[in-house]
Structure formats: structure tokens, C-alpha cells
Amino acid sequence: MNLEEFYAGKSVFVTGHTGFKGSWLTEWLLLLGAHVTGYSLPPPTEPALFTQLGLRKRVEHFEGDIRQGDRLREVMLEARPEVVFHLAAQPLVRLSYAQPMETYDINVMGTVNVLEALRALKHPCAAVLITTDKCYAQKPSPTGYREEDALGGNDPYSSSKAAAELAIAAYRRSFFSSRDSKVALASARSGNVLGGGDWAADRLVPDCIRSLRSGRSIAIRNRSATRPWQFVLDPLSGYLELGAALSRRLQASETAAMPSGTLDPNEDLASAFNFGPRPGAGHSVSELVEEILRHWPGTWHDEWDHAAPHETLHLGLANNKALRLLGWFPAYNFQQMVESTVAWYRESASFSPEDPGPFVALTHRQISEYSASPTLRKN
């Protein structure tokens, strides 16, 4: 699908636009010609990609907490979005052990507030609500988790995201499944995302970059953990494709001669989607660090913490559904995603934090390079 053709001039509402993934998505939407309204807390880190890109002055920016349901609904109704992307969350596993109640409040009730705001809309709107690959009940899966697999989670973060998925599915069946529904609702699950501009604490790549910039050895706490690492633009391209497909389904339903109130025969599109890396692309923490050091020389050491809270050792996602229904397939392999990620950090290290221009140019260049990928064009 030609994303620029679809999103140019569209009103798009993004929660969590001040975060890492939200900033990349917002920048891409602006590049596509969309009019973006963002609703989020202030940037969660310093530095922050949102600030580096100067996004505060380039979008309709609203600071707010998704737990403030009335405020969120008011801003969304005023924006009259044609597409909504919900990314606002408490996204860190280790923090969820320290703040479990806040994690559930943000990730579950915050998502319910977004769903309630969508219920109040009186015009057609496609909505993609983002959760995580960690929402699945843990069990061995040689082919990766599929969307129909059981939900669960052994830690507050994972189980909060599983609960958010259950709420999304319940609202879809209860309020958004009829043919005359104004909202087409889907959820999106992706893996561990890499990309320039992530400055979060307790996250592997930002920790690596901070150590390399200061000349310190990188401390690794769980070298054998395997993750479905993926470049940030891979899942974002899936979200954009899904949002566009849902919107076109809404347009088709308004003109189709189907009796009002009957279930949409294409409800598979309004459902959960995995956007993971290529099959067999899972790599251990130590493999990722070694690949980073190929592009930015340095050292690392093992700092295993036996008292650390539990984190899943092996995760994987199956992309069959996204390929079948959306024609989506991840464009970058493991080496490409690490090279692009490190290149962003190394090049931007010399930029002035007062001037967003070079940051925007670098980010646009990486979006353009990604969009020109032969894998992406083929699909």
C-alpha cells in the first residue's frame, strides 16, 4: 500500500508521542503529510528523541495522562481523528516490579480510557492499539507465538499487557463489531525494538550507547536471553499498514449493501496482529552486543545478578497473519537493524541539542532508506 497516498492530509491521533517509538511514528507520519495530534506525558528521558526532533512545535501537542479519561476524550473528540495509534504505556519489565499498581493502572485502565474515547467518536475512525510480544502465556513455541495463542504473563508488565489485550477484544466484540460501527479496532504486538533515539534506563541498547560514549565496558546482566530484536521502523510500518487497511475497510462497509447490525465478514482485520522480526531472527543479548561492537568498538563484561527479577529468556513471534492479510514482512535483517541503530547514535553524537534540524534530517534519511528497501518494495 502507498502509505504517503493514504496518510497525506489525514488527521491522526497518537498517544505516547513523546516516547521513543511514538516519536519515530510521529516523525514518519509528518513525513507522509499527516496532521498529527499527540497526547502524552512529558518526554520520559533526558535526552529524548521527541525533544531532539523538535516535535513539540511541529504537531498539535497535548500533555496529559491516559488515566485522565475525561481529558483524553475531550482532546480526541476535538481532534476528530481518522486514525488513532495508542502507544502510551509503562513499557519496562523491571520497573513493573517496583511499581506494579501504577503499571496495571496505566496499561490496563489507560487503555480502557482510550477505548471509551473511541466509543464517543461520531465519525469513522481506524484504531491500532499497541501492546507487546510479552502478552502471551509462556510456553515453548518453535515457530513463535501466534495471535490465537493463550495470553498471560509472569510479571506485572506482561500480565498488564495481556489484560489490555483482553479489554481490547471485549470492547471490539461489545461495541465495534457491528456493520454500522464507526470504529475499526485492532491491536498490534511487536518484539524488542532497536533504533536511534532510545534513551530509556534499563534497556540494552541505550545502556550500551551510554557506556560506549563514556569509554566504559558494557555491563550485561543476562547474556543468554534471546529476544525477537527488530528495527523500530519494521513494526511501525506494520502499524501504518494496519491503520490504512482498517480505514479502507470502514470506507467499504459504508458503501457495501450489507444489512445494518450484522457482523463484518472481514473481522479478522479488526483483530490482533503480530509484527515480529524475520523467522529465526531471535538473537541472544551477547550476540546483539557483539554486533553493536562491530560498528562501535568497545568491550563488555558479564554482570549477572542472581537477585534480579524474572525476565523471559526466549520470545518469538509468527508473522503469518500480517503477511497474509496485509502483505507485511519485516524489511531489515539483524545486521541491518544494528548497523542503522548504531549509525544514528554515532552520527548524532556531534549534533547540537539546541538545533533539531540535523536530527530531523538524519531520521528522515533512515526512514527513506528503510522505505526504499527491496524487501519492503517487494511486499
Digit-by-digit pLDDT tens for the chain (379 residues) are 689 999 999 999 999 999 999 999 999 999 999 999 999 999 999 999 999 999 999 999 999 999 999 999 999 999 999 999 999 999 888 899 999 999 999 999 999 999 999 999 999 999 999 999 999 998 767 778 999 999 998 899 999 999 999 999 999 999 999 888 999 999 999 988 999 999 998 889 999 999 999 999 999 988 888 888 999 999 999 999 999 999 998 888 766 544 444 444 445 899 999 999 887 677 899 999 999 999 999 999 998 765 555 555 556 789 999 999 999 999 999 999 999 999 999 999 999 999 999 999 999 999 999 999 876 544 4
Strands 193-194, 283-284: pairing is unpaired
DSSP string, 138-174: P---TT-B-TTSPB--SSHHHHHHHHHHHHHHHHHHH
Provide the residue ranges of all domains of the chain, joining segments of one domain with +: 3-194+230-279+313-334+351-378
Rounded CA-CA distance 351/196 in Å is 13
Rounded CA-CA distance 146/162 in Å is 14
- Chain position carrying cell 497473519: 321
Give Cβ neighbours of residue 48 (< 8 Å, ≥ 6 apart).
Answer: 18, 23, 199
Dig out the grid coordinates for 64 from the structure. Answer: 496529559
CATH class, domain 3-194+230-279+313-334+351-378, is alpha beta
Q: Do 49 and 22 form a contact (C-beta atoms < 8 A)?
A: no
